[in-house]
Structure 1
Amino acid sequence: MRDIFSVSGQIVCISGASRGLGKGLARLFAERGAHVVIAAPDQGELAAAQAELAAAGLDVAALSADVADPASCAALVDRTIDKFGRIDTLICNAGIDKIKPAEAYENDEWDRILDVNLKGVYFCAKAAARAMLAAGKGSIIVTSSIAGRSGIPGLASYAASKGGIDQLVRTMAVEWAQRGVRVNAVAPGYINNFMDGVAAASESPYQQRAMARTPMGRRGEIAEFGGAYLYLASDTSSYTTGTVLYVDGGYSAA
């Protein structure tokens, strides 16, 4: 039977892939025959992730990149193309947060979160899109969040960045639809081991309140989110663009 979600032979570049969801996605795509490039700013974490995947028999390339730096994003795409000849799928997964009351953010804290989460998506997507538009095909997948749709106390800057991502995804999708490049987002709910900041605050009142709104009553495991990314990277989603796909245990429906 044909694998309708096949990504075998694809060139897939994943930012924020040294840990958590990004590393899980790298494993998933590599296991299914994709040629994977993992990217992150911390070279030590990146090397550790590459070694962990290699120990599982998965050969992935590792490139250091800071998504908040447009030159670094352009270099990431250029080096991916230099190595593999093209880029088929870009997964913009890099993201940070800081949990605190909305009135308490320092200006530099606010700016840093927007720089990584929102501007970083644009910088990477712009760099990849130039190559994809020239080729007449490509898929860009962005990790958004339920926070982009629902107000979650303690995550004002993160929520602002994710809401911006959703609109950016829709706009890029509309602009590039007739030129063969699809742009979509996956909006996860609460994930085990997603980001250190979220995990460390798992017992905070903010997190407890949010979990109480999740109908399934638990956090999702990393493996439970990968199917959405496979779908959006595969030819099965060839008529899907501008979508924000919620994988959240029912949170967005509650």
Structure 2
Amino acid sequence: MTDTNHYAAVGGKEYQKLFGIDGKVVCITGSSRGLGKALASCFGRLGGNIVLSSHNIKELTEAEAELEGQGTNVTAIRADVRSHDDCKALVRGTVDRFGQIDVMICNAGTDIIKPAHSYEEPEWDEIVDTNLRGYYYCAKFAAQAMLDQGGGSIIMTSSVASSLGIPGLAVYAASKGGVNQLTRTMAVEWADKGIRVNAVAPGFINNFMDGVHPNLDTPYQRRAMELTPMRRRGNLPEYFGPYIFLASPAASFVTGEILYVDGGYAAS
């Protein structure tokens, strides 16, 4: 816990520790590519001990080698977040490797864009099991470890679609709305146990879950830009600060919050 009186008295160099990540153990799901991989690289460069996780062994191995190349203390653990046992093993493996888990970033996600009336049952299961069930599993097991060690930070990757109606995202939006409520409820349950639970809700971002950049000159994409007051997508480095803040001592009195990082989309 951050002692604000201590910082006020010492000043200067001590204030730099407010956003300190050095030495923290950070586990990130969905981190073999995209936002998760970018966050892993960022936290690693700040001195964090990083656990990468994905169901894709090839991508996971490549990401691990890349982070090792930048000097990060990193290990990769293959896990499918839809599996209760895989999530349990992920947290156990993190603690076995580094002795603790300070930050769990639940980031693995998937989406299928189509009209609400046309989803098939397997598509619903794939999206909800990945985006909601997997978040619960990882947060649950991370919290069990954090309760034993006296606290930690859990950060969910939500979405602006969690609270706004965006055509074509019915199931994705439902899953992310669930993530918001999961975040708030767990935050209240564990607030007095030293565990903070928050979410970052991106708007439209230059990060595509299938790894392929789509044609941005479509009615869907143009509408997204029109509804974003900054008139552009967010770039990956613009998301580092919000996650670092929520993971750091600077956010010691912040829990149960949904932090929108969306170029003003939710405010418009």
| TM-score class normalised by the smaller sequence | over 0.9
CA RMSD in angstroms, aligned pairs only: 1.3
1:238 and 1:171, CA in 2 relative to 1: closer, same or farther beyond 3 A? Answer: same
Is contact 1:186-1:247 (8 Å) kept?
yes
2:48/2:73 contact within 8 Å kept: no
In structure 2, the residue matched to 1:60 is: 74
For 2:198, the equivalent position in structure 1 comes to 184
Q: Which amino acid aligns with 1:130?
A: Q
- Correspondence 1:170-209 to 2 at 5 A: 170-196=184-210, 199-200=213-214, 202-209=216-223
Residues 121 and 142 in structure 1, CA contact (< 8 A), matched pair in contact too: yes
User: 1:225-236 alignment to 2 at 5 Å?
Assistant: 225-236=239-250
Matches within 5 A, 1:34-49: 34-49=48-63
Asked if the contact 1:88/1:132 (under 8 Å) is kept, the reply is: yes
The count of aligned residue pairs is 254
Over 3 Å off, 4+ runs:
201-204
Q: Percent identity?
A: 57
> Quick one: which of 129, 136, 141 aligns to 2:155?
141
> Which residue matches 1:97?
111
What residue in structure 2 maps to residue 123 of structure 1?
137
Give yes or no for contact 2:34–2:211 (8 Å, CA) kept in 1.
no
Report the residue type matching 1:152 in the other structure. I
For the residue of structure 2 that corresponds to 1:229, the secondary structure is: helix
Match of 2:32 in 1: 18
The TM-score normalised by the length of structure 1 is 0.97
SS at match of 2:131: helix
Q: CA deviation at 1:47?
A: 0.8
Q: Is the Cα–Cα contact under 8 Å of residues 113 and 158 in structure 1 kept in the other structure?
A: yes
Q: Is the 8 A contact 2:187 2:195 kept in 1?
A: yes
- Deviation digits for residues 154-201 of structure 1, max 9, x if unmatched? 111110000010011000000110111110000011111242278336
Is residue 49–residue 72 contact of structure 2 (8 Å, CA) maintained in 1?
Answer: no
1:239 correspondence with 2:253: yes
> Residue type of the partner of 2:220?
Y
- 1:25-46 deviation digits (Å, cap 9, x = unpaired): 0011000000000100000010
User: Aligned pair 1:76/2:81, yes or no?
Assistant: no
Unaligned runs of 5+ in 1: none
Contact 1:220 1:249 in 2 (8 A): yes
Q: How does 1:142-157 map to 2 (within 5 A)?
A: 142-157=156-171
Distance in 2, matches of 1:7 and 1:76, equals 21
Bigger radius of gyration: 2
